[in-house]
Amino acid sequence: MKCRSFEGAIIVNGRQSMHSLAMRPTKIVKNSVNRDLKLLRRLLRAKDHMDAAPHEDWPISRLASVSGASEAYFARSFRDAFGIPPHRYLLTRRVERAAALLRDTDTPIIEIALQTGWNSLGTFGRTFRDVTGESPSELRRRMQLVPGDLEEVPHCFVSAAQRPHLKMAVSEKRRRTKEGRHDGRKGDDS
């Protein structure tokens, strides 16, 4: 085994040792920051495409072409930047959309599954449970208001929710003023 030192690095059999590479001060390259920002912009472009159409199929090849990177580099960079692989991110977005539809509509679960990009109700249910910890029907049941639930809500919130929109209130006041009925504040002689 041949061993020699070269500018602070240890060369063993023609290869630089990892220890010597780790011990050297890192050289900051001016363009690396710009390169990282450009990469992040490209990754965000792909992420925005997934956010805009989570119901569509987004294979790595399509995402990589949107971001202008190779498939392996895109997948690795996406995971490094956002802490989650692209496929898992897409599944999470689909589940979020499905949860909103379950909460806000009476659409059948099978239709929600199809609208949010799943081709199989079984896969939808299994993935939904993995992400949320409950099945779609359990979430829907839990989110539906029971008539007694409003009694637990503070009165100020209920009255604020029932308050008419400001434009409606102003137009109603103008209508009353035109008809000669005042609200007793200004110019009312009765």
* pLDDT value for 62: 95
12-21 residue pLDDT tens? 444 444 333 3
- Topology of domain 89-143 in CATH is Arc Repressor Mutant, subunit A (1.10.10)
Burial 31-40 (b: 16+ CB within 10 A, else e): eeeeeeeebe
Query: Within 10 Å of residue 65's Cβ, how many Cβ atoms?
Result: 14
86-145 residue pLDDT tens? 999 999 999 999 999 999 999 999 999 999 999 999 999 999 999 999 999 999 998 886
Give the residue extent of every domain in the chain. Answer: 36-83, 89-143, 149-173
Of 110, 106, 9, 99, the closest CA to residue 54 belongs to 99
Return d(Cα 128, Cα 126) in angstroms, integer: 5
